[in-house]
Chain A
Amino acid sequence: MIHFVKCGTCFSFFIISCLTSTLVFAEGDNEQFVGPGGKEYLYTCGPCHASTTTGYGAFRLQQRLGKEKALLHERDDLTAEVIRVAVRNGIGAMPALSQVEVNDRQLESIIGFLTKKNNRILFDEKENITKRRVSSRGFRSGPCQGRCINDGF
């Protein structure tokens, strides 16, 4: 068995950039990333967004917006535009992704995967609609060159 050792800081869970390490395990395997867009999401966005213990994007979102908004695939408040702009323009310290890394067809597929929960909430869970609308207020519409959506992404 792994023998856990508590270190001085909750930030000490990773090896390379922190001091010493308490071992932390992955948040699950890849089985949740199936169906249209799921695999594309895992391979294109997953390195940074699939896990808060390995990924820069998830780590950063957890730091800024809290644990419940850390993982994009668990969110129900992302819009197609937010995703599209962030991917193509970059956002914060996230670089823009090229057509080679994710082409427009794959990107639309990823958008479908990441916004699937939004639709389910709209149609199946009416009591949550209000909640969802409130949580969506952070987004702004219109051309915003990536950085103006910092508050919501």
Chain B
Amino acid sequence: MTAPLPPKVSSRQFERAIKAFTQVVGADWVLTSDQQRSTYVDFYAVTPNDHLPSAAVAPETVEQIQAILRIANEHKIPLWPISRGKNFGYGAAAPRLSGSVVLDLGRMRKILDVDQKRGTCLLEPGVGFFDLYYFLRDNNIPLWISAPGNSWGSVVGNALEHGFGYTPYGDHAQQVCGMEVVLPNGELVRTGMGAMAGSDCWNLFKYGYGPSWDQLFMQSNFGIVTKMGMWLMPEPEAVTMLTMEPPNEEDIGWVIDALTPLRLRGIIQAPLNIGNFIRVAMIASQRSQWYQGEGALPLDVEEKMRKQFGIGWWGVNVSFFGYPESNQFGVKLTQQAVSQYTDLEFNTQEWHRGEPRPDATQFGVPITFPLQVANWAGTNGGHVGFSPVLPPDSKIALEQLKISRQLFREHGIDYCGSFTLHPRHLNKVNMIVYDKDDEDMTARARNLVTALVKNAHKRGYGEYRAHLSFMDDVAQTFDFNNHAQLHLNEAIKDALDPNGILAPGKQGIWPKAYRESKS
């Protein structure tokens, strides 16, 4: 693997920068060999050669980050900050711009504070969901994390990318309260109440005084987050879980119509993921066990899988968090809502505080095995996500399901999707799974994402997050008033980062120097 240089940087200039980085962090933490760089590529890449790092550098302190930024500004070296590099399906640790130096913050892995009384924590970016889970559990602190479907990654990184989990604190960006950020010029800023030196309220009140900047540093390239306050959920007295498996594809319509009013009113407190039997099959088996022909799985093979597993088309899991009595109220309202549409009945399970916690994200337990889906199409599996935001409405959900199923089929890729219901929006989560050893399939997967982006845009729907290879495409779909928001982002980028060294191209935001060379 030849190391790509950053654009417009000579090898001599690059070597000088590497030498200077080494003086800051020590030789062990400047990673330049082929093997070392290979650990920062997108392992599941849909475009494997488009996002290659030139090196990685791993600081341990804010001061080292500031020194690295000084060097990067001097030598015009683009840096790509990562927390733990587990942004799977969206690019993992790889940089948007080939030749960037990955700024790996994985050594900054301290849990700086947990306030049991107020339900807050203060974390460095390298802290993983498992780290925080073990810490709380082993110290008998009755606070729960909210973990995403694949919980291998960083708590801070996931929140910055607008990730979500499955407890009432499942909207992770909303739990952020106060950041410490190093700006591209090296200046250190604390947001919210943290802007007051010595404030005890940094992680208690989000807005501070004047404009609130936390959102500015999410899904952006305006600063490097070195500390983040997060709110944690007090352990509930009881969790009551209702489960049901509607048998037909079109049942997703009434499920959404029945449950959305309860989500809106806060009766259903947590993001509600509604998966289907295809995803079960993709995790529990491999494609070759069912079908070895060309193209997407035929419908009759899908049906055969469903019958063999003996499960419904959709899986609905509604959990209530609180006290047994309050949970029962939610159970009653949910049963009433659903009974207007179906004779199916929910199964009920209940957990009480003090009992062992089940291994499930609803119980604040991190998991990684959904990654298994990557093995579906072959043993060298890849996957990429496409998740547009929709209004929570049966007609729209069914229409988008039909169109995406059709687009998957046209591209010869097996459909894998689910819906996640939030109070006022519905996220249609599509997983595009392919075999990296099959170049044709990988190319079809890439084309499928492009088609899905275009199709959603036609109806005015956009993604909440995007893989590196599609960041520009998705940014272009946010086109009100001739892409006025992108121009605003570019103006801020140029003001904060005049040399354009920090994560060029992230979320389609390119600094001036790169915009000029592109046009």
Could you tell me which A residues sit within 8 Å of B by CB distance? 1-5, 7-9, 11-21, 23-26, 30, 42-43, 46-48, 51, 53-60, 63, 88-90, 92-93, 95-101, 103, 147, 150
Cα distance A77–B349 in the bound complex, in angstroms: 40
Instruction: Report yes or no: A5 in contact with B347, Cβ–Cβ below 8 A.
Output: yes
Interface centre among A56, A57, A98, by most B CB within 10 Å?
A: A98
- The answer to whether A88 and B280 have CB atoms under 8 Å apart is no
Name which residue of chain A comes closest to B148, CB basis. Answer: A16
Within 8 Å of chain A (Cβ to Cβ): is B284? yes
- A7 contacts B347, C-beta separation under 8 Å: yes
A98 touches B43 (CB 8 A): no
Q: Determine if B31 and A98 form an interchain contact, defined as CB atoms under 8 angstroms apart.
A: yes
CA distance A7 to B166 in the complex (A): 21
Q: Do A95 and B31 touch across chains, with their CB atoms under 8 A apart?
A: no
Given the complex, which residues of A lie within 8 Å of B130, measured CB to CB?
Answer: 43, 46-47
Distance A15 CA – B148 CA, assembled complex (angstroms): 11
- Chain A residues within 8 Å of B358, by CB: 2, 23-25
For B310, list chain A residues within 8 Å (CB).
Answer: 8-9
Given A16-B273, A92-B380: A53 and B372 interface contact (C-beta under 8 Å): no
For the residues of B in contact with A, the DSSP-based class is mixed
| Residues in B whose Cβ lies below 8 Å from that of A43 | 130-131, 134
Roughly how many angstroms separate A147 CA and B374 CA in the complex, as a whole number? 15
Q: Which residues of B contact A99 (CB under 8 A)?
A: 28-29, 31, 36, 39, 58
**Chain A residues within an 8 Å CB radius of B359:** 13-14, 24-26, 51, 53-54
**Chain A residues with CB under 8 A of B394:** none
The 10 A-B residue pairs with the shortest CB-CB distance in the complex, in nearest-first order: A19-B315, A20-B243, A95-B43, A23-B358, A93-B374, A98-B39, A11-B284, A56-B371, A100-B106, A16-B149
What are the residues of chain A within 8 A of B245 when measuring CB–CB? 7-8, 19-20
**Chain B stretch 283-307: residues in CB contact (< 8 A) with chain A:** 283-284
* Given A56-B372, A59-B369, residue A17 in contact with residue B279 (CB < 8 A): yes
Residues of B within 8 A of A100 (CB): 29, 31, 56, 58, 104, 106-107
Residue from the list B39, B315, B366, B368 in contact with A18, Cβ < 8 A: B315
Most A CB atoms within 10 A — which of B273, B283, B350?
B283
* B244 interface residue (CB < 8 Å to A): yes
> What distance in Å separates the Cβ of A62 from its nearest Cβ neighbour in chain B?
10
- Bound CA span A51–B490, Å: 46
Asked if A26 and B356 sit within 8 Å, CB to CB, the answer is yes
- B270-284 vs A: 1/0 string, CB under 8 Å? 000101110110011
The interface centre, meaning the residue of A18, A24, A51, A89 with most chain B CB atoms within 10 A of its CB, is A18
Q: How many chain B residues have a CB neighbour from A under 8 Å? A: 78
Complex formed: what's the CA distance from A130 to B241 in Å? 49
The residues of B that contact A89 with a CB separation of less than 8 Å are: 38
Chain B residues near A11 (CB-CB < 8 A): 280, 283-284, 309
Q: How far apart sit A54 and B351, CA to CA, in the bound complex (Å)?
A: 18
Contact call A92/B379, Cβ cutoff below 8 A: yes
19 contacts between A and B (CB under 8 A): A2-B351, A7-B245, A11-B309, A12-B311, A12-B315, A15-B361, A19-B245, A25-B356, A30-B134, A42-B134, A43-B134, A54-B367, A56-B368, A56-B371, A59-B372, A99-B36, A99-B39, A100-B31, A101-B106
Cross-interface CB contact of A98 among B36, B241, B277, B361, cutoff 8 Å: B36
Contacts of B56 in A (CB 8 A): 98, 100
Other A-B pairs beyond A16-B149, A19-B277, A20-B245, 8, CB < 8 Å: A3-B350, A13-B359, A14-B369, A15-B361, A19-B245, A23-B349, A30-B134, A53-B359
How many angstroms between the C-alpha atoms of A94 and B459 in the bound complex? 37
